[in-house]
């Protein structure tokens, strides 16, 4: 079955460490997205990528970095510069940027919960 795989499900980080969250999709989607979900704040867009080797900052990109070397993979690195990294991180993908075509639904992964030790 096609879908989005995020790993690990739970991740713990020490202060000052960088940590990378994995997101892989086998849906042959061009566009991929990373969101952060905090209690009482809904989902906020961190980064998105419309095509391989291209990515754009979302609303809260500071302290994060991404890469898109392969179509199926869009890893997110939470750097030590991110002051409040504890959150639930969701990865999503769509055939094309969902706002560009009304027929493109976004598919979401199961999420990774990151906590600071």
Residues making contact with another protein (CB under 8 A): 35, 40-45, 58-59, 90, 92, 97-100, 102, 105-110
Give 41 or 84: the residue with its C-beta nearer to another protein.
41
Q: Min. distance of Cβ 37 from another protein in angstroms?
A: 9
Question: By C-beta, is 79 or 98 nearer to another protein?
Answer: 98
Question: Whole-number minimum distance, CB 2 to another protein, in Å?
Answer: 13
- DSSP helix, strand, coil percent of the chain (3-state; round to 5): 0, 50, 50
Q: Is the bond into 80 cis (omega within 30 degrees of 0)?
A: no
To another protein, the closest distance from the beta carbon of 14 in angstroms equals: 30
């Amino acid at each position: 079955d096609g879908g989005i795989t995020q790993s690990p499900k739970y991740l713990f980080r020490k202060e000052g460490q960088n940590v990378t969250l994995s997101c892989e999709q086998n849906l042959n989607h061009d566009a991929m997205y990373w969101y952060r979900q905090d209690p009482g704040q809904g989902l906020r867009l961190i980064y998105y990528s419309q095509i391989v080797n291209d990515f754009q900052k979302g609303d809260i990109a500071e302290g994060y970095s991404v890469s898109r070397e392969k179509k199926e993979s869009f890893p997110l690195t939470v750097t030590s510069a991110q002051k409040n990294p504890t959150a639930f991180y969701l990865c999503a993908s769509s055939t094309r940027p969902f706002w560009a075509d009304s027929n493109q639904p976004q598919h979401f992964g199961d999420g990774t919960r990151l906590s600071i030790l």
